[in-house]
Structure 1
């Protein structure tokens, strides 16, 4: 049981009621403590501060000609983080810390931020998650823990070798994180799955036209008839939903978007597990042939 689960259990036993404002306050205090611990009085080049301010859309202050660096706790970066009261904007600022190239005293800051922020999240009751895919870091709203770990975190990691797939799935998560519940969020999900199917099946067909190739692929992987049929049926309903709500720009509910994210992740996770099993079998055969 991790810290977050222990906290939930304690709250349940003691009937602790915590509103969203209090959850955010606790999370912000923890992350600001981490930021203070990591950066301290480190000297930050103004070029880095300007990068941050440019990304978040804040005004860059005028400085003297001889002013090249500033103590982090005196920068406008720290000021914005410390004063921000809007949860979404605050998390966006944390995200931007990962985006800018923070190089202070030749130390890589991002891994330290990731380690500390993950711990802060584990201690908090705010529904948020942070994942690392290769050298990139991404905040997104957390749902069920098991689904997040298996359907989102693992999938983001596994599809990183498919740039188009990764780009669209990550784009959908970022839009969901920022509460941009637009039709193109769902379209990003469809494109991520479509590009993955094209890569795995080796063709350029749309999802709707992959039935025969996908059926053969699942059969070759020894997928049971029942699971194969279920996959096809759900995929058909998936494209029906896409055609109705994405193409006609109908309003999409937040709950349905979350469902579509998990469903897309489940579709892709299943395909990737089949691909990973193929790689394992290939490695076993190669080892056998090499006499290892």
Structure 2
């Protein structure tokens, strides 16, 4: 049995209430990550330490023990960071670096990622980590059921440009600036467009494929009300995309951006499943 599940079952059995604050949760999470990545400077080597310092705009200093130079820059920077979002950003940067020794380094990286994923599971923090192909992204936790059944499911069947754009939409949502939210919605549009091209096996643009999908659903004798609802939602999204994302001059707040991610993901999931049924 997974140790986390065993601990949760014990707590339920003995009615132990978890009254840990988010601040305490982050502190424990930070300790877990520091334990996992305590040797990170030696894992990545000087070239990648330079990349890390360049990315964060920090000074690159090395220690000398009388025999050789060594670095604690990455682990010390992690240790000194008390802003949770900036801490998450550093984790993403670290796992974007190359680990030394191609074969051994790849194994070390995979092990480290698995351990950090466990640190997320054990910690009371409002965030989750996703590994998509060779990339690590950290996202606001959202609703667990929705994340698992909608977002994760979409990530599992998308590929190519559709997947890349959906991941970029999540990353821009994570940044949560006015510009990044507009970029996020533009990536959603492009992801949806690419998925429809893949599912409908053509090279048409989104607007024409909305019509094509509606025609196909009608031929499949899909419930008429559902078909009309899907068509209306897609047309509304297309109008929103045109007004708020294509020219990067839109204005969207964080809840609207989140809603659109779930809305697009639900549509993608529906289209993928309904066309599989047809096949």
TM-score (norm 2): 0.81
What's the C-alpha RMSD, in Å, of the aligned pairs?
A: 3.2
Point out where structure 1 has 5 or more consecutive residues left out of the alignment.
282-292
Q: How does 1:224-243 map onto structure 2 within 5 Å?
A: 224-243=223-242
Please give the alpha-carbon distance, in whole angstroms, between the structure 1 residues aligned to 2:86 and 2:188.
Answer: 24
Q: Are the counterparts in 2 of residues 130 and 137 from structure 1 also a CA contact under 8 Å? A: yes
Render the CA deviation track for 1:64-119: whole Å, top value 9, x for unaligned.
Answer: 8x98763xxx4201111111111111111101121111135824222212211221
Please give the alpha-carbon distance, in whole angstroms, between the structure 2 residues aligned to 1:16 and 1:130.
Answer: 22
Partner secondary structure for residue 130 of structure 2: strand
Render the CA deviation track for 1:165-196: whole Å, top value 9, x for unaligned.
Answer: 12221111111122234322211111111121
Q: Are the counterparts in 1 of residues 193 and 205 from structure 2 also a CA contact under 8 Å? A: yes
Does residue 217 of the first structure (1) align with residue 216 of the second (2)? yes
Partner secondary structure for residue 204 of structure 2: coil
Does residue 99 of the first structure (1) align with residue 128 of the second (2)? no
Does residue 266 of the first structure (1) align with residue 266 of the second (2)? yes
Please give the alpha-carbon distance, in whole angstroms, between the structure 2 residues aligned to 1:234 and 1:215.
Answer: 11
Q: Which moved more, 1:48-57 or 1:90-99?
A: 48-57
CA 1:268–1:181 in 2, change beyond 3 Å: closer, same or farther?
Answer: farther
- Tell me the equivalent position of 1:21: 23
- Tell me the equivalent position of 2:164: 167
Partner secondary structure for residue 139 of structure 1: strand
Please give the alpha-carbon distance, in whole angstroms, between the structure 1 residues aligned to 2:104 and 2:67.
Answer: 20
How far residue 15 of structure 1 moved from its aligned partner, in angstroms, is: 6.8
Partner secondary structure for residue 210 of structure 1: helix
- Tell me the equivalent position of 1:81: 78
Please give the alpha-carbon distance, in whole angstroms, between the structure 2 residues aligned to 1:50 and 1:67.
Answer: 21
Please give the alpha-carbon distance, in whole angstroms, between the structure 2 residues aligned to 1:233 and 1:57.
Answer: 47
CA 1:241–1:41 in 2, change beyond 3 Å: closer, same or farther?
Answer: closer
Render the CA deviation track for 1:210-262: whole Å, top value 9, x for unaligned.
Answer: 33311233245553323222211221222233334335834311111111111
Please give the alpha-carbon distance, in whole angstroms, between the structure 2 residues aligned to 1:271 and 1:224.
Answer: 14
Partner secondary structure for residue 126 of structure 1: coil
- Tell me the equivalent position of 1:34: 36
- Tell me the equivalent position of 1:136: 135
Q: Are the counterparts in 2 of residues 175 and 185 from structure 1 also a CA contact under 8 Å? A: yes
Partner secondary structure for residue 131 of structure 1: strand
Point out where structure 2 has 5 or more consecutive residues left out of the alignment.
none
Please give the alpha-carbon distance, in whole angstroms, between the structure 2 residues aligned to 1:43 and 1:156.
Answer: 29
TM-score (norm 1): 0.78
Please give the alpha-carbon distance, in whole angstroms, between the structure 2 residues aligned to 1:103 and 1:140.
Answer: 27
Render the CA deviation track for 1:141-174: whole Å, top value 9, x for unaligned.
Answer: 11111211222222223212x2x21222111111
CA 1:244–1:216 in 2, change beyond 3 Å: closer, same or farther?
Answer: same
How far residue 16 of structure 1 moved from its aligned partner, in angstroms, is: 5.7
- Tell me the equivalent position of 2:150: 151
Render the CA deviation track for 1:237-288: whole Å, top value 9, x for unaligned.
Answer: 222333343358343111111111111111112223345556xx5xxxxxxx
Q: Are the counterparts in 2 of residues 172 and 185 from structure 1 also a CA contact under 8 Å? A: yes
Please give the alpha-carbon distance, in whole angstroms, between the structure 1 residues aligned to 2:137 and 2:237.
Answer: 26
